[in-house]
């Protein structure tokens, strides 16, 4: 779902950063109901929060997980934390890294930019959401 949107160049024309592509795309695909003001939260997370720390495609996915699965009635928000850990583990297992610097070195090209890194985040997010929704039926 989200992966297909990203694969088709979602956010490229608008100049969205990696975190924005994931959160804005998830908002559309998963009907999160976030308004334009709420989506602005992702703006500072692109490029690993601007310092090439944790990749914005990952932080955008974690934001989406929180929007979908956070339970306001649970102070610790355990489900969101558990799903975030699952996301990180899957991403690292498939891409070897979670920080921008090594991800860029390994996967970024001038032509495609960080498209493969963003797409992998979308694919893993789609998988986690799908698995979680199926297990809750």
Structural domain boundaries in the chain:
2-135
Mean pLDDT of 74-83: 81
The per-residue pLDDT for 79 is 86
Mean pLDDT of 19-41: 97
Mean pLDDT of 101-122: 97
pLDDT classification of 110: cutoffs 50, 70, 90: very high
* 120: its two tokens: 């992998």
Q: pTM score, two decimals?
A: 0.95
pLDDT classification of 75: cutoffs 50, 70, 90: low
pLDDT digits (tens, 9 = 90+) for 33-71: 999 999 999 999 999 999 999 999 999 999 999 999 887
Q: How far is Cα 76 from Cα 73, in angstroms, rounded to an integer?
A: 9
């Amino acid at each position: 779902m989200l992966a297909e949107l990203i694969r088709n160049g979602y956010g490229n024309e608008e100049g969205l950063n990696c975190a924005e592509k994931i959160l804005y795309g998830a908002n559309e695909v998963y009907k999160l109901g976030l308004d334009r003001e709420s989506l602005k939260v992702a703006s500072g997370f692109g490029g690993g929060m601007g310092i090439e720390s944790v990749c914005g495609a990952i932080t955008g996915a974690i934001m989406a997980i929180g929007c979908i699965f956070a339970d306001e009635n649970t102070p610790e928000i355990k489900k969101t934390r558990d799903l975030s850990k699952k996301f990180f583990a899957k991403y690292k297992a498939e891409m070897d890294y979670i920080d921008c610097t090594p991800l860029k070195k390994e996967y970024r090209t001038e032509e495609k930019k960080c498209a493969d890194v963003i797409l992998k985040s979308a694919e893993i997010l789609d998988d986690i959401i799908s698995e979680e929704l199926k297990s809750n039926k």
